[in-house]
Structure 1
Amino acid sequence: MGQRFDSGHRGVDAVAPGPVGGETFRHVIGHFASGVAVVTGRDDAGVPVGVTASAVASVSLEPPMLLVCLNSRLYTCDVLAETGHFGVNILASGQDALARRFAYDPGDRFAGLRILPGRLGSPLLDAALARLDCRVVSTAEGGTHRVFFAEVVQAAAGEGAPLTYYRGRFGAFEESAGRRASRGA
């Protein structure tokens, strides 16, 4: 017999019948915690653009690839499709103000930030926990969003914990008690 894990939470009583609406889906998928990144690029005039994204995932190690999902109505989405490359800046715990700036601020989102040039020219945020410069390999449409599949051509990471997003809120990663105990911490 396999080991049984008890998380201490109350499980799902039943699956709702019928079609799943947008609000129901948002509520349910919000229970899936994710990291937070700022996806960046440069438009034809060389102006940096960027948007906060939590729909970022690794796809492959050989070659190193990831995917990013962005709302198709966003200018940043258009820029990435036109230029064929972008940066992914993984935010650190405590950088929720930076995440909000790139999610909501209509002004110059890059004001006061130190920008590093990626190998492909993508603007990378010096303050990010980790940075990747990516070349678009293909795209796909999915409902209101465009999915960018990209090969990672440059990557670097610092030390620290990531910013997380769960049920509409930013937070911090906390190692489980079981993991701490197994390390003897």
Structure 2
Amino acid sequence: MSSQRHHTSSPEIDKLDQNLFRRACGAFATGITVATVLGRDGKPHGLTANSFSSVSLDPPLVLVCVAHKAATHGPFSSASSFAINILDINQKDLSVRFASSHPNRFEGLDWTVGELGSPILTNSLAVIQCQTKRKIAAGDHTIFLGEVRKVDVREGKPLLYHAGGYLEFG
């Protein structure tokens, strides 16, 4: 027979320090993506995201999380498809650009329109084109669940992020 410990919570103990939570999550090294959509206005929209994950192989599903306050949240919410551009080690400038408040993040960039209509960044390590299947409100973000329709991969090294900074390969 196993013994179980019951936790009695108090508001002081359960109140989570957001900065500590952010640091704990930052301890997990991630790849960096730029998630993109084509807005109803016909303009490309995108943001740097490391809140990306594969979900299922059958059917092939991925997710990306977008903050409600992000300028791109509206275009993502109204789009029927999105693309995940997994960045190459040489694309740090794209990561910084799409994480900024730059008014036209695609200005002067080399990109194409993918088969589902979402912007594809040239020279990405991999591109995953998805049909939006579900939108799930989760705290201060929306989880966009996409069914993978097309994938392209090339050789190279990924751009990685850890503890608030980019990692360099040795």
What TM-score do you get using the length of structure 1 for normalisation?
Answer: 0.81
Aligned counterpart for 1:148 among listed residues 144, 147, 163: 144
CA distance in structure 2 between the aligned counterparts of 1:107 and 1:78, rounded to whole angstroms: 15
CA distance in structure 2 between the aligned counterparts of 1:81 and 1:173, rounded to whole angstroms: 36
CA distance in structure 1 between the aligned counterparts of 2:70 and 2:95, rounded to whole angstroms: 16
Aligned counterpart for 1:80 among listed residues 61, 72, 76: 76
Aligned counterpart for 2:33 among listed residues 24, 31, 37: 37
The aligned amino acid for 1:70 is V
Show CA shifts across 1:137-178 (max 9, x none): 11111111110111011110110110011001112456xxxx
Query: Are residues 1:139 and 2:135 paired?
Result: yes
Structure 1 unmatched runs, 5+: 1-16, 175-185
Structure 2 unmatched runs, 5+: 1-12
Report the alpha carbon displacement of residue 18 of structure 1 after superposing the two structures with TM: 4.1
Report the alpha carbon displacement of residue 86 of structure 1 after superposing the two structures with TM: 0.7
The aligned amino acid for 2:66 is L
How many matched pairs? 158
| Superposed CA RMSD | 1.4
Q: Which secondary structure does the structure 1 equivalent of 2:72 belong to? A: helix
Report the alpha carbon displacement of residue 19 of structure 1 after superposing the two structures with TM: 2.8
What TM-score do you get using the length of structure 2 for normalisation?
Answer: 0.87
The aligned amino acid for 2:55 is V
CA distance in structure 1 between the aligned counterparts of 2:169 and 2:57, rounded to whole angstroms: 24
Name the counterpart of 2:10. none
1:81-120 correspondence runs (5 A): 81-120=77-116
Report the alpha carbon displacement of residue 112 of structure 1 after superposing the two structures with TM: 2.1
Report the alpha carbon displacement of residue 27 of structure 1 after superposing the two structures with TM: 0.9
Identify if the C-alpha distance between structure 1 residues 150 and 24 changes in structure 2 by more than 3 Å, giving closer, same or farther: same
